[in-house]
Amino acid sequence: MRNYIQLFTIIVAAIVFTNCTTNKQESEFKSKVNEYAQVKLTSDLIQKLPEKEKQMLPVLISIADIMDELFWKESYGNKDEILAKYNDPYVKKFIKINYGPWDRLDGNKPLFKEIGEKPDGANFYPVNMTKEEFEKFESEDKTSLYTIIKRDKNGELQSIPYHIAFKDKINKAAELLITASELTDDEDLKKYLKLRSEALLTDNYLESDLAWMDMKNNNIDFVVGPIENYEDGLFGYKAAHEAFILLKDKEWSNKLTRFAALLPDLQKSLPVNDEYKKEVPGSDSDLGAYDVIYYAGDCNAGGKTIAINLPNDERVHIEKGSRKLQLKNSMKAKFDKILIPISNIIIIEDQRKHITFNAFFENTMFHEVAHGLGIKNTINGKGTVRDNLKELHNTLEEGKADIVGLFLVTKLTEMGELGEKELMDNYVTFMAGIFRSVRFGASSAHGKANMIRFNYFDKKGAFSKNEDGYYVVNFDKMKEAMNSLANEILVIQGNGDYEAAKKMIEELGIIKEELNNDLLKIYQANIPKDIIFEQGNKVMGL
Ligand code: ZN
């Protein structure tokens, strides 16, 4: 699964759009492309790799490019044909960014009217297939993550495993994975790459997923294959091909391992009564910081993810847990290209020095750590928090992770665990981050959680606004608000109190006029919404 905070349809923009005149001219394509800031994707960690592993990178890129070609077939169909149709370089670029002629940052709106709507099932199913036809279709593996549905010569549906449907390309990728496995001395990475090669040839990924969880000391990581099922908007049955080439930031990853040992004590220090913190926080999940040096296929389409949580297979969760990968350099790119410009519009000038990448990264990392704290089962024997809060659970849980994450940063800084630094950096950066996330919509749990926090902070005086309309963080009041909001959420979760959750979301999970005006300011400043990459051997200096 991915952290989709930056991928959601821009509901807020829709509110804002009504206030602006949209110019349907050729420059529109240019402005669509310019919604993405272009970033060179590279990492200092490349130079630290052993010579042999450096040689592995071009091989991994070739495999990733195959995943990219497969994703084109899954998302749209014939890439060359559609690109040949248009001369305008911005139109071509738009189509490449979106892997098809539909705008992923705007609810898949077609680029031109005549293109029509994007099929819900993308190109995983015949475009003219109805849901009823699929339901009647008798086939053992039609709902498999790893088959594509086509029509045979007689027009009948058939379900074809990926390794057969894409035989030549898959064979090539599998062969290159073996080549790659010979370019490392890390036995665990070697084993994983070999098993992943086999997995592509059989569409059975379990063994390779287990081997992936066993990798602990590798410098290079390679997420590859058919993985997420979001592209199949019809049923969510089909996994789309993608690849991430990653380098492990061992310094940060080791810090995180050290904090894991402190979790039981941190749990006890949560600002809530003892009965709400009786559970011992899980240490099963493996959290690490990485630089990503290549995105291909599904993960490269439209908005870019800055965190990955894999594998998706629950059999692996039971046996080995899962791994969270925080993608530090692409996070930094979004920080520079999006958060800093937003802050310049929103935050008072003398507090802008507190908006730092280090604080942003800490806030994000401890959001992930905070998911493991608090409580999973209600204190009154009603069962799990998730079952009781139902569709509201995700919003409350994301809200908890954000605010308890900030609480953890506060505690650890006070304990001296995070080195010499100013907590004010984390607070002002946290405040600016709210605007970045709210901008991406009320339809997501993350977006809603941010609106709740904004309104809660407002009510508690955690910030004020000066006469020029800039926000000023009040450190002491924000700290108080942090503690009391953490308390309220943890209590609602512990009680499994659906009604209280609903009340909180209805009262606070909204965009009031003032915030909407600020969002309008951000919108009018044409700040990029996401990023695209210049990437490959040359950019990496290989
Ligand atoms: Zn989260």
> Is this model's pTM higher than 0.85 or not?
yes
* Under 8 Å between Cβ of 97 and 121: no
Domain residue extents for the chain: 39-534
What whole-number distance in Å separates Cα of residue 77 and Cα of residue 242? 16
201 CA from centroid of ligand 1 (Å): 34
How many CB atoms lie under 10 A from the CB of residue 512? Answer: 12
180 CA from centroid of ligand 1 (Å): 33
395 CA from centroid of ligand 1 (Å): 9
Whole-number Cα distances in Å, 170 to 126, 142, 153, 205, 489: 22, 20, 24, 14, 48
Q: Using the predicted structure, report yes or no on whether residue 7 has a pLDDT greater than 60.
A: no
Q: Find the mean pLDDT for residues 113-117.
A: 91
Q: By percentage, how much of the chain surpasses pLDDT 70?
A: 94
437 CA from centroid of ligand 1 (Å): 12
Read off the pLDDT of residues 265-300 as tens digits, 9 standing for 90 and up: 999 999 999 999 998 886 656 889 999 999 999 999
Q: Using the predicted structure, report yes or no on whether residue 13 has a pLDDT greater than 60.
A: no
Q: CA angle 89-90-91, nearest 5°? A: 90
Tokens 């350099």 appear where? 329
306 CA from centroid of ligand 1 (Å): 12
367 CA from centroid of ligand 1 (Å): 6
393 CA from centroid of ligand 1 (Å): 12
Chain mean position to CA 156: 38
Q: Where residue 441 falls among pLDDT bands split at 50, 70, 90?
A: low
Amino acid 15: pLDDT: 41
> Which pair of tokens denotes residue 220?
């290079």
* Under 8 Å between Cβ of 502 and 460: no
Helix axes 498-508, 475-495, angle to 10 degrees: 140
12 CA from centroid of ligand 1 (Å): 21
398 CA from centroid of ligand 1 (Å): 5
What whole-number distance in Å separates Cα of residue 286 and Cα of residue 217? 13
Amino acid 317: pLDDT: 86
Q: Using the predicted structure, report yes or no on whether residue 327 has a pLDDT greater than 50.
A: yes
Q: Where residue 9 falls among pLDDT bands split at 50, 70, 90?
A: very low
More confident call, 65 vs 367: 65
What whole-number distance in Å separates Cα of residue 258 and Cα of residue 239? 35
